[in-house]
A and B are shown apart, each in its own frame.
Chain A
Amino acid sequence: MATTGETLQATAEEVIRKHETKRTRLFYKDAFYKLLSLISPFVLLAIWEIVVRTEILNPIFFPPPTEIFKTMIEMVQEPDAGGFLLQDHIAISLRRVILGFLLGTIPGLILGLLIGWFRSVRAFFDPIIAATYPIPKISLLPLMLVIFGFGETSKIVTVAIAGFFLVLISTAAGVTQIDHVLIQAAENYGAKRSKLFTKVILPATLPSIFTGLRLSLGISLLIVVAAEFINTNSGIGFLIWSSWQVLAVKKMYAGLIVIAALGLFFTSGLERIGRFLMPWAGDIQSRTK
C-alpha cells in the first residue's frame, strides 16, 4: 500500500516531468525561430543566384552573389588604381566615421545635458538649435570644403555636425522627460546637486542618450559615404562612386555590402554596450534569478 508520502512524491515527479517537457518544447520552438532568422539571408542569396543564372534578372545590373564574392576576394588582394585594397578603403572610412562621431557626440552629449537641466541654457540655445537643426547636414559639405579644404577635416567635421545635433536633441529631451516624482524623491532622500546629477539625472537619461548615439552612427555612415562621392580617392563612398563611373557593378555591390555590414556591426555593438550599461532597461527575462 502506498503511503501518502509516496503518493505525494509520485505526484510531484509527474508535475516536474510535465513541466520539463513543456520547457523542452519551448526550447525547440525558440531554436526553430532562431534558425529561421539565421537562414533567411542565405535563402535570399540563393534565390538571387538562381534568378540571375536563369537570366530572369539581367546579370549586368544584378551580378550573382557568388561573382560579387569573388570580386571582393580580388579586391582584398589586388590594389585598385589609387593603390588601395578593399580593407584600406574600409579603414579610411572607419577612421572618418569614428573621429567625426566622437568629435560631434561628446560636445552634443554635454550641451544636451546642460540644455535639459538648466532652463537658462535651454532658453538661450533653443532658438539657435531650432533654426539650424532642420538644415540637412550633408548640404553643409560644400561649406566645409571651403573652410577646411579637400582633406580629411571637411569630411570629419560634417559627420561631427550631424552627430552633434542628434545626440544633443535626444539627450536634452531625455533630461526634460525624467519623471518629476523621481527627482522629488531623490531630493527628499537628501540628493544634492552633484549626487542628484550622477545618481539620478544621468542614469535616467541614459536610454535617450543611447537612442541619440544609435541615430548618430547611422547618419555618420550615410554622410561619410556621401562625402566620399566627391573629390577623394579613398573610402567606401569613393569605391561605390568610382565603380559606377566605369560601370564596375560587382565592385559597387562589394561597397554596398561592406557598408551594410559596417552598419550592422555598429548597431549591434552599441546595443550590446547599452545592454551592459543598462541591464535594468531590458526585457523582463525572469522574475527570479
Chain B
Amino acid sequence: MTAPKIELRGLGKIYPTPQGDVDALVDINLTVNDGEFLCIVGPSGCGKSTLLRILAGIYEETSGEIIVHKADIDRPLNSVVFQEYAIFPWRTTLDNIAFGLEMRGVPKPNRMAIARAYMEKVGLTRFADNYPNQLSGGMKQRVALARAMANDPEILLMDEPFGALDAQTREVMQEELLRIWEEDGGKTVVYITHSIDEAVMLGDRVVIMTAHPGRIKSIHPIDLPRPRTQQIRGTAEYAHIAQVIREDLSEEVDKAQAMERLES
C-alpha cells in the first residue's frame, strides 16, 4: 500500500496574461501513494484546481515532471469528478454513467450492467431514465460520481465535487463517497477541497497549499480509523487534527486576503 502511484517533482505552471506571466504553481513536490485518499486544501486562487487538471492531463505543466505508475493497461488512468458536475444534459442518468465505458468501447450489454450496478450504489435507480434537468444538485453529483467509478480508473481525481451542495447534502455525499470508495477496493484518490472538515473527514493525508503562487506548505497525516462516518466529527482526535490544520491554513488565508486587498 505504500508504493508510490503519482510522483510530482518540481512541478510548475505559469499562465501568460496580458500583464505578464503569473506563477500559478511553483515547485510542487509530492508523492501520492497507491490506494491513498489524499486531500489538498488551500485558499481560493492557490492553484489547487490547476494542479488537479494537470494530473488529469487537461492542462500541461510548464516545468518539472509527473511520474504516474500505471498498473493495468486495460484500465483508464484517471477519471475526474468536476465541481460543475459536467454531466451531459442530453443523456439520461444511466447513459451518463455509462459514458466512459461507451467511449472505451465496452459492449452495450456489459456497460449497461456495470452502469446499473453503480447507479444502484449511488441510489439513483428510480431516476435511470431521467435527464439531468430533472435532478437536484446532489443527484447530479451522484451521477458524476457513478460515472467516474463505473469507468474503473486507477486514479480518481475530484475537484471540489461537493462544493456547490448545501451542508446537509454534502455530509450525506461524503459518507456515500467513503462507502463506495471502500467497497470498490480503495482506489488512489486526489481530492481538492477548500473545507478543512471535509479534508479531515475523508483523507489519509491532507496537503496544505499556499496562495499566490501555489506551493505546498505542509502535509498532515490523518490517523483516524476507517471506515469513517459523520460520527467521527464528534471525537477528540478529529477536533485536534482539524484545529492544527485550521491554524496552519489560517495564516495562508490571511495572506491571500491581504494580497487581494493590496491588489484592489
Which B residues, 147 to 172, have Cβ-Cβ distances below 8 Å to chain A? 147, 151
Do the beta carbons of B131 and A189 come within 8 Å of each other?
no
Determine which residue in B103, B130, B151 has the highest number of CB atoms from chain A within 10 A of its CB, and name it.
Answer: B103
Do the beta carbons of A188 and B57 come within 8 Å of each other?
yes
Total A-B residue pairs with C-beta atoms closer than 8 Å? 71
Do the beta carbons of B89 and A189 come within 8 Å of each other?
no
A281 interface residue, CB < 8 Å from B? yes
Do the beta carbons of A188 and B133 come within 8 Å of each other?
no
Cα distance A287–B79 when bound, in Å? 28
Question: Can you list 19 A-B pairs with a CB-CB distance of less than 8 A?
Answer: A179-B84, A179-B86, A181-B86, A182-B88, A184-B53, A184-B82, A184-B86, A186-B99, A188-B56, A189-B99, A190-B76, A190-B100, A190-B104, A199-B103, A204-B89, A280-B90, A284-B133, A287-B130, A288-B127
On whether A204 and B103 interact (CB within 8 A), knowing A188-B57, A280-B132, A284-B133, the answer reads: no
Cα distance A281–B90 when bound, in Å? 7
Cα distance A203–B78 when bound, in Å? 25
A191 CB contacts on chain B under 8 angstroms: 103
Do the beta carbons of B90 and A278 come within 8 Å of each other?
yes
Cα distance A195–B104 when bound, in Å? 11
Task: Across the A-B interface, give the 3 residue pairs with the lowest CB-CB distance, nearest first.
Answer: A185-B86, A190-B103, A280-B131
Cα distance A179–B151 when bound, in Å? 22
B58 interface residue, CB < 8 Å from A? yes
A145 interface residue, CB < 8 Å from B? no
Flag B78-111 by CB within 8 Å of A: 1 or 0 each: 1110101011111100000001101110000000
A289 CB contacts on chain B under 8 angstroms: 129-130
A189 CB contacts on chain B under 8 angstroms: 76, 79, 99-100, 103, 147, 151
Choose one: A182, A188, A279; the contact of B78 (CB below 8 Å). Answer: A188
A199 CB contacts on chain B under 8 angstroms: 99, 102-103
Question: Shortest distance in angstroms between A191's beta carbon and chain B's nearest beta carbon?
Answer: 5
A14 CB contacts on chain B under 8 angstroms: none
B132 CB contacts on chain A under 8 angstroms: 280
Cα distance A12–B91 when bound, in Å? 37
Do the beta carbons of B133 and A187 come within 8 Å of each other?
no
Do the beta carbons of A188 and B89 come within 8 Å of each other?
no
Give B residues with C-beta under 8 Å from A.
Answer: 53, 56-58, 76, 78-80, 82, 84, 86-91, 99-100, 102-104, 126-127, 129-134, 147, 151
Do the beta carbons of A188 and B79 come within 8 Å of each other?
yes
A200 interface residue, CB < 8 Å from B? yes
Do the beta carbons of B82 and A280 come within 8 Å of each other?
no
Question: Shortest distance in angstroms between B61's beta carbon and chain A's nearest beta carbon?
Answer: 16
Do the beta carbons of A287 and B86 come within 8 Å of each other?
no
Chain A interface, DSSP helix/strand/loop, else mixed:
helix
Which A residues, 261 to 289, have Cβ-Cβ distances below 8 Å to chain B? 278-281, 284, 286-289
Cα distance A280–B93 when bound, in Å? 11
Given contacts A281-B90, A286-B134, 7 further A-B contacts (CB under 8 A): A184-B86, A188-B57, A191-B103, A195-B103, A203-B88, A204-B90, A288-B126
Determine which residue in A188, A206, A284, A289 has the highest number of CB atoms from chain B within 10 A of its CB, and name it.
Answer: A188
Cα distance A184–B49 when bound, in Å? 13
Choose one: A185, A200, A280, A288; the contact of B80 (CB below 8 Å). Answer: A185
A200 CB contacts on chain B under 8 angstroms: 88
Cα distance A179–B85 when bound, in Å? 11
Cα distance A206–B91 when bound, in Å? 13
Do the beta carbons of B84 and A181 come within 8 Å of each other?
yes
B151 CB contacts on chain A under 8 angstroms: 189
| A206 to chain B: closest residue by CB | B90
Do the beta carbons of A280 and B89 come within 8 Å of each other?
yes
B90 CB contacts on chain A under 8 angstroms: 203-204, 206, 278, 280-281
Do the beta carbons of A185 and B129 come within 8 Å of each other?
no
Question: Shortest distance in angstroms between A215's beta carbon and chain B's nearest beta carbon?
Answer: 22
| B147 to chain A: closest residue by CB | A189
Choose one: B58, B86, B104, B126; the contact of A182 (CB below 8 Å). Answer: B86
Question: Shortest distance in angstroms between A188's beta carbon and chain B's nearest beta carbon?
Answer: 5
| B90 to chain A: closest residue by CB | A203
Choose one: B82, B102, B104, B133; the contact of A181 (CB below 8 Å). Answer: B82
Question: Shortest distance in angstroms between A177's beta carbon and chain B's nearest beta carbon?
Answer: 13
B131 CB contacts on chain A under 8 angstroms: 279-280
